[in-house]
Structure 1
Amino acid sequence: MKNVQISYELFVSLLRYHLMEDDDCLNEIRQGLEQKLDSLVRHELYAKYKTASTQEEREKARREYLEKRGVPDSFRW
């Protein structure tokens, strides 16, 4: 199983929510986890792009990665 690192602020918010039952930090937790998930997805797409066995798979993964990063078509090569 892989390890995932989160920011100190997200960790503290998770502690406040679970141990102190503070519902005020739910929005912070949701945003932090969504950002982390997006980062993990982008990393997986980049790794797939770099390790693809065929040129078709590599190009498809590259396009998916660039779309996820929000790079406009006019800026791509």
Structure 2
Amino acid sequence: MKNVQIPYDLFMALLRYHLVEDGSCADEIRRGLEKKLDSMVRHELYAKYKTAPTEEEREKARKEYLDKRGVPDSFRW
């Protein structure tokens, strides 16, 4: 089973939300979790790009990764 690290501020907001039932931090939690999810997706695409068995799979993963990172086509190699 994999572990996921989150920023301390997000962890504290999750504690406040669940243990103290402070609903005012729901937007902060949502933004933090979305940011973490995007980071994890980018990491998976990068790992897939580096470890793909065929050249066409590597190229497809590379393009997906660069699209996700927001790199413009004119700046790519």
- After TM superposition, the score normalised by the length of structure 2 is 0.99
Aligned equivalent of 1:20: 20
- 2:24 & 2:2 partners in 1: Cα distance? 30
Deviation per CA, 1:31-56: give whole Å up to 9, x if none.
00000000000000000000000000
Code of the residue aligned with 1:67 in structure 2: it is: D
Code of the residue aligned with 1:63 in structure 2: it is: K
Give the C-alpha shift of residue 70 in structure 1.
0.2
Identical positions, percent: 79
Q: Which 5+ residue runs of structure 2 have no aligned equivalent?
A: none
- Runs of 4+ deviating beyond 2 Å: none
- 1:17 & 1:24 partners in 2: Cα distance? 8
Q: Which 5+ residue runs of structure 1 have no aligned equivalent?
A: none
Q: How does 1:21-36 map to 2 (within 5 A)?
A: 21-36=21-36
Give the C-alpha shift of residue 9 in structure 1.
0.1
Q: What's the C-alpha RMSD, in Å, of the aligned pairs? A: 0.3
Aligned equivalent of 2:7: 7
- After TM superposition, the score normalised by the length of structure 1 is 0.99
Deviation per CA, 1:8-64: give whole Å up to 9, x if none.
000000000000000000000000000000000000000000000000000000000
- 1:53 & 1:20 partners in 2: Cα distance? 49
Aligned equivalent of 1:45: 45
Aligned length: 77
- 1:71 & 1:39 partners in 2: Cα distance? 15
